[in-house]
Structure 1
Amino acid sequence: MMVPVALLLLGALTAAVTPRVLARADWPDREPVVALWVWQCAVATVLLCCALSMALSAAAAWQEVRGHLFAPAPRPVVEAYALGTTGGGWAAAIAVALALGGVWSAAMLVREVARARTRRSHRKAELRVRAPKLPGEESGRGRLVVLEGERPDAWWLPGSTPRLVVTTAALRRLKGRQLDAVLAHEMGHAQARHDWLRHCSAALAIGFPQIRVFEAFRDEMHRLVELAADDTASRRFGRLTTALALVELNEGRGVFGPCPTTDAQVPQRVNRLLTPPDRLTPSHRLRLTAAAALVPVIPVVVALVPGLRALG
């Protein structure tokens, strides 16, 4: 029973340390793509710790599970884990609790995806009403849809037939390459599949509101994907052009001024774009990416230590 407990402690430590470390770091806003990767690796580590602990706890509690899990393993390896000797009741309780947590996580993800599909269906229905197919128009419509609207806006509508929607007010307000920057921003979301990051992070945060790392994961996903999309647009059309496009789109929404009413992140994004970039060196980014990729390997190593010792 020592290995499952060690895995749970490792998962708890990762969940407690990750938000604090990343909150104190000064590089995530400069390197949002790397920060997104670090967050995903940290959350994957927590989930992997729980999954491995559940498997070993179930093997300790029930002979049938042990037989399947350690079927190809030699006898010394099985004996090294000391499964089924003590703590059978605790092992069963841990395995059942973690299994229920896994089922609940899957249910929350399914619910979040279903809600997203419902919202997307409503927006597509509204799109068909506001931009109906004209007589003689071909069934295969383009990916760009222009809507009549007094509010400047642009958004990406994912799905089997994805659409990039922009209002006529946005076309009137955006000057020169600003429209291209806005469209590149939305395309950046689509190409990186940021919608799935939002679904997964929201499912974990809603399913386990008492676990701080999942709440922080959701909040940071919403913030970092916008910064990453801003960088995608600024690399093609310039930081000033992208910043001006954000201002033009959001100026009438009350987000600027001493008391912003909605989406207070927009002024921060504009200030970030107007500040000279201070990116990390390529070697530093590579080291951070590699270090984050190694973190999920730690629980696997912890789970294999007794067996490796028995074989060695």
Structure 2
Amino acid sequence: MGTAFALPIVGMAFAVLAPRLLCRARWQDREPVVALWVWQCVVAAVLLCFGLSLLVTAAALCPPLRDELFYDAPRRVQQAYGLATGGDWRGVFAAVLFTGTVHLVLHLFREAHLARISRRRRYDEIRQAAPALPGETRERAALLGRRAEHLLVMENPRPQAWSLPLPTRPLQLVVSTGAMRRLSAEQLDAVLAIERAHARARHHLLVQSAGALATAFPAAALFTAYADNSARLVELAADDAAAHRHGNLATALALLDLNEARVGAGAARRGVPLPWTPGTPPPPPAERIAARVDRLLTGPPRLRPVQRLHLTAAGLLIISVPVLVVLAPGLGALLGRI
């Protein structure tokens, strides 16, 4: 049973050390996509540690499961894991791990259900404001595929633009008339490119899952830091995608013009409440918009390809640690008899 107890220790070590190291890393703003990958690898490694620990503990308590896991394996491999030892602590340990797993799964399902309801409500509001044309049937939308999109212009003097990705419907890109009046053609293309980048990378699912982890375990510094950084890094990644196609200047000016009321020094200084229309996503904080604009205009250059490769490999190494820990006793038993 040593492996079952070692895995949570490794997971807690990752959960304590990773946020301290990653939150100090200045390269994240230069490579948001790589930073998201590293964050996800760390979180996956922690969850994998506790999941594999539950599996080993369940194998010690359930002989049929043990026979399935060690099917055709030499007897010395099973003995190397010490599944017959541990006494009554095995049941208590398995109960704690199982309770945490159920708690997490329920939060994930809850967040997914609430997000699905919110997206459907917003979609219905959009369809009520702009009904489908006679030839725009569900069959035609299904033939277009998931990459299809609908651009809808809403009558609203406030400059706004957002996307509404739905798994069974074409992507909805919504732009207000105020945004069309304020933005130039190139700036409007940059804004739409940002929203397409969010939808293409499924950033809404990433942010929702990160928020569910932080809600399920608010005392875990790793999950709260992961949720905060994910919400920021997905915006930077979408900005980079738009800037790569339309240029840094056009993307920065589009963000500035689209959020002029929010990044104004007077409104930020006085704490004036931001205007918000029901049915649209809440506006991002003014400080975050200003930081995105500054990054596009004066930010440091991207990392070199070798540095990005090293960080990607580091993420793979992190997520492979739990697998190596759980396989170590069995591999040691096999190699010791060769």
Structure 2 unaligned regions, length at least 5: 142-148, 273-283
Q: Which residue of the partner structure matches residue 267 of structure 1?
A: 290
Whole-angstrom distance in 2 between the partners of 1:249 and 1:82: 62
Residue identity opposite 1:92 in structure 2: G
Distance 1:89 1:105, change over 3 A: same
Match of 2:194 in 1: 185
SS of equivalent residue, structure 2 residue 173: strand
> What do residues 57-77 of structure 1 show as CA deviations (whole Å, max 9, x unaligned)?
222334343233223321011
> After alignment, is 120-129 or 95-104 more displaced?
95-104
What residue number does 1:240 align with? 249
Q: Check conservation: 1:155, 1:186, Cα contact below 8 A.
A: yes
SS at match of 1:151: coil
CA displacement at 1:225 relative to structure 2:
0.2
Deviation at 1:156, TM superposition (A): 0.8
Q: Distance in 1 between matches of 2:68 and 2:90?
A: 17
Q: Tell me: CA distance 1:235–1:277, structure 2 relative to 1, closer, same or farther (3 Å).
A: farther
Question: Matched residue pairs, number?
Answer: 310
Structure 1: distance between partners of 2:241 and 2:188:
14
Say which SS state the counterpart of residue 186 (structure 1) adopts. Answer: helix
The aligned amino acid for 2:17 is V
Partner of 1:228: 237
Aligned to 1:174: 183
Contact 1:255 1:267 in 2 (8 A): no
Secondary structure at 1:88 match in 2:
coil
Instruction: Please give the secondary structure, in 2, of the residue aligned with 1:295.
Output: helix
CA–CA distance in structure 1, aligned partners of residues 59 and 87 of structure 2? 10
The one-letter code matched in structure 1 to 2:192 is L
Aligned to 2:172: 163
Contact 1:59 1:65 in 2 (8 A): yes
Unaligned regions of 5+ residues in structure 1, if any?
none
Aligned-partner Cα distance in 2 for 1:154–1:117: 20
Spell out, residue by residue over 1:139-198, the C-alpha distance to the aligned partner (whole angstroms, 9 max, x if none).
357611111111111111011222111111100010130000000000000111111101
Change (3 A) 1:2 1:301: same
Please, what is the CA RMSD of the aligned residues? Answer: 1.7
Q: Which amino acid aligns with 1:88?
A: G
Correspondent of 1:250 among 243, 259, 275: 259
Rounded Cα–Cα distance in structure 2 between residues aligned with 1:57 and 1:249: 54
Alpha-carbon contact 1:178-1:244 (below 8 Å) kept? yes
Aligned-residue offset at 1:37? 0.2
- SS at 1:82's partner residue? coil
Partners of 1:121 and 1:176 in 2: CA distance: 30
Report what 2:327 is aligned to: 304
Counterparts of residues 32-181 of structure 1 (less than 5 Å): 32-85=32-85, 87-133=86-132, 136=134, 138-139=136-137, 143-159=150-166, 160-161=168-169, 162-181=171-190
Alpha-carbon distance, 1:239 to partner: 0.8
Offset at residue 256 of structure 1 (A): 4.4
Which segment drifts farther, 301-310 or 255-264? 255-264
AA matched with 2:173:
L
Q: What SS does the aligned partner of 1:143 have?
A: strand
Identity %: 50
In structure 2, relative to structure 1, the CA distance for the partners of 1:145 and 1:308 (3 Å cut) is same
Change (3 A) 1:105 1:166: same
The alpha-carbon deviation at position 202 of structure 1 amounts to 1.3
Displacement of 1:212 after TM fit? 1.3
**More deviation, 122-131/60-69:** 60-69
Give the aligned residue type for 2:72. Answer: P
1:290 equivalenced with 2:313 (yes/no): yes
Pairwise CA distance, 1:96: 1.9
Matched residues in 1 for 2:209 and 2:42: separation? 14
Structure 1 range deviating more: 60-69 or 298-307: 60-69
Amino acid at match of 2:323: V
Q: Secondary structure at the match of 2:259?
A: helix
> In 1, Cα distance between the equivalents of 2:233 and 2:305?
19
Distance in 2 of aligned mates of 1:15 and 1:222: 19
Measured in 2, the distance between the counterparts of 1:118 and 1:83 equals 45
SS of match in other structure, 1:144: strand
Q: What does the per-residue CA deviation read over 1:22-68, in whole Å, with 9 as the maximum and x for residues that have no partner?
A: 11111001100000000000000001100111111222334343233
Amino acid at match of 1:305: A
Q: Take 2:174 and 2:12, find their aligned partners in 1: how far apart are those partners?
A: 43
**Are the equivalent residues in 2 in contact too, given 1:7–1:52 (CA < 8 A)?**
yes
